[in-house]
């Protein structure tokens, strides 16, 4: 039976004068009042009256069972667990006591202990549907724990969060599950959610080392390294053997130091050293997405200084993959695309930047890229002549002389019709290029991306021979002489 004979306890002098029967009657009165408040859902008052009943008769299992039920409604599961355990110690056949102990274990995430309690209930009452259901819930939690462990080892953090959400439906007060969920949320970059879970735990237990660690982890991954270290140190103060906090603290300090060394080398113009230091920093913690995105962008900046443009583009792409909102990485990659004449890609990046931040500077960069893209789709007269875009007038003339003589149709009169056609086309392009680049006004319009047709120059009616004759002094100024099959030399008058 749940009810035991009450033993008087030395609390109130007046109680010493009461008989066991009177104590039991008064305790029952307190219990009934507690029941009335429980029904009204006034659990705080119910707790007070059940406590008075226990004070009167501390060996009555049902009083502890009732107070345990009240504490459960107040979500004070650890205290409820103690009362439930005391109830079944007093009466091992107290079925409700075992059931409540199991529910407390389950709420606190102790699924194995909960299973033992529910199995004891089923020994006492084999047809208890409630115990059968709770036993299934405990088994489900054990399975979710197993799946979460596998998921964490495989770095499938979304799976872990899913498993912990399911487990917390039954184990709502389990800090261990909440911490694991928060840690995985942080590893997924969902920092506000992770911070919220950790903060909820710290409000209940300000010394919880795991929650302090997660708070630090969120700050660390948000690149607030100094603040993160403070939380890691505090966690280690509460739990000196906290391996994760120790590792994170060490990584945070190492990452900060290496990044600062790289920045110092860059400012001093020591780009090779900066490149190596940023590369070393990137090996410290692959999980730190935000800091690593900055490191990739920093290395791309150094790479562009070292003329490693393709590597710089690759680093910017890695930075963007880690942080799709990282404007600086888009700008750096776009500039590298401009430097390598990949104008379509540059326009795409500048459009992304301008859509995000509509500044005058970004608008100017986009328009410039669009202009270069437009210019790139025309014939590149500089390439046709084989000169740099900053070539002087003399360099342009020398280049024309060389290319015009190389592709002149008379030089290829003995070649196949296909070769003759191709050389004639090149000869015409050379003359076209020279006619534009040798004229300051046309060259200026060409360099600015304007259409040359606006000057009345129709390239379709262009005669390369006239340019050639004018350049070499008119008829009789030169002739081609054959010295053998396929060999020519030029004779100037």
Within 8 A by CB and 6+ apart from 309, the residues are 303, 336, 339, 340
Is the pLDDT at 17 greater than 90, yes or no?
A: no
What residues contact residue 186 under an 8 Å CB cut-off, 6+ apart?
194, 214, 217, 218, 221
What is this structure's pTM? 0.65
Cβ 153 vs Cβ 121: under 8 Å = no
Instruction: List the alpha helices (DSSP H) in 323-380.
Output: 327-339, 343-356, 360-376
Which of 236, 257, 254, 255 has its CA nearest to residue 245?
Answer: 236
User: Residue 15: its pLDDT value, please?
Assistant: 53
The CATH number of domain 380-447 is 1.10.287.110: yes
The third-level CATH classification (topology) of the domain covering 184-240 is 1.25.40
pLDDT for residue 490:
45
Domain ranges of the chain: 19-142, 184-240, 250-375, 380-447
Whole-number pLDDT of residue 484: 45
Write the CA distances from 85 to 57, 65, 71, 196, 355, integer angstroms: 17, 9, 13, 33, 63
- pLDDT tens digit sequence for 28-54: 999 999 999 999 999 999 999 999 999
Same fold, 19-142 and 184-240: yes
Contact indicator for 357, 327 with CB cutoff of 8 Å:
yes
Give CA–CA dist 353/341, Å, rounded: 19
pLDDT at 135 over 70: yes
CA–CA separation, 150 vs 154, rounded Å?
Answer: 6
Q: 250-375: what CATH class?
A: mainly alpha
Quick one: pLDDT at residue 454? 55
The CATH H-level superfamily of 19-142 is Tetratricopeptide repeat domain (1.25.40.10)
User: pLDDT tens digits, residue range 310-354?
Assistant: 999 999 999 999 999 999 999 999 999 999 999 999 999 999 999
* Mean of pLDDT over the chain: 88
Nearest to 168 by CA among 190, 203, 192, 200: 200
Is the CB of residue 209 less than 8 Å from the CB of residue 217?
no
Q: Is the pLDDT of residue 411 over 90?
A: no
């Amino acid at each position: 039976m749940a009810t035991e004979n009450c033993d008087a306890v030395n609390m109130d002098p007046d109680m010493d004068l009461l008989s066991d029967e009177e104590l039991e009657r008064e305790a029952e009165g307190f219990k009934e009042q507690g029941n009335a408040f429980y029904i009204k859902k006034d659990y705080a008052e119910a707790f007070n009256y059940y406590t008075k009943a226990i004070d009167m008769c501390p060996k009555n299992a049902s009083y502890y069972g009732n107070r345990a039920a009240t504490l459960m409604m107040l979500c004070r599961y650890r205290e409820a667990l103690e009362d439930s355990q005391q109830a079944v110690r007093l009466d091992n056949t107290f079925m409700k006591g075992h059931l409540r102990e199991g529910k407390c274990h389950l709420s606190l995430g102790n699924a194995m202990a909960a299973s033992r309690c529910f199995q004891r209930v089923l020994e006492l009452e084999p047809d208890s549907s409630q115990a059968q259901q709770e036993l299934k819930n405990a088994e489900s939690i054990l399975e979710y724990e197993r799946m979460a462990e596998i998921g964490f080892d495989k770095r499938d953090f979304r799976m872990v969060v899913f498993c912990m959400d399911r487990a917390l439906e039954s184990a709502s007060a389990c800090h261990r599950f909440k911490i694991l969920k928060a840690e995985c949320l942080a590893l997924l970059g969902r920092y506000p959610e992770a911070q919220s879970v950790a903060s909820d735990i710290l409000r209940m237990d300000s010394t919880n080392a795991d929650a302090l660690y997660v708070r630090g982890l969120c700050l660390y991954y948000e690149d607030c390294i100094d603040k993160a270290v403070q939380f890691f140190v505090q966690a280690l103060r509460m739990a000196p053997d906290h391996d994760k906090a120790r590792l994170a603290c060490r990584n945070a300090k190492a990452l900060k130091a290496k990044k600062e060394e790289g920045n110092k080398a860059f400012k001093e113009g020591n780009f090779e050293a900066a490149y190596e230091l940023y590369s070393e920093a990137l090996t410290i913690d692959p999980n730190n997405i935000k800091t690593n995105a900055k490191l990739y962008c920093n290395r791309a900046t150094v790479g562009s200084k070292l003329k490693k443009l393709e590597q710089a583009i690759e680093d910017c792409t890695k930075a963007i993959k880690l942080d799709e909102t990282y404007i600086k990485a888009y700008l750096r990659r776009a500039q590298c695309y401009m430097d390598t004449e990949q104008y379509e890609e540059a326009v795409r990046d500048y459009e992304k930047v301008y859509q995000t931040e509509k500044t005058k500077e970004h608008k100017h960069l986009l328009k410039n890229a669009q202009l270069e893209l437009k210019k790139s789709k025309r014939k590149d007269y500089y390439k046709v002549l084989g000169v740099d875009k900053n070539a002087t007038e003399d360099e342009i003339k020398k280049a024309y002389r060389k290319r015009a003589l190389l592709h002149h149709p008379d030089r290829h009169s003995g070649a196949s019709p296909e070769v003759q056609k191709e050389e004639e086309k090149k000869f015409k392009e050379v003359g076209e290029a020279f006619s534009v680049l040798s004229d300051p006004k046309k060259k200026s319009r060409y360099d600015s991306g304007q259409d040359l047709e606006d000057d009345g120059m129709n390239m379709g009616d262009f005669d390369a021979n006239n340019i050639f004759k004018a350049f070499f002094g008119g008829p009789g100024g030169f002739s081609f002489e054959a010295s053998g099959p396929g060999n020519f030399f030029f004779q100037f008058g």
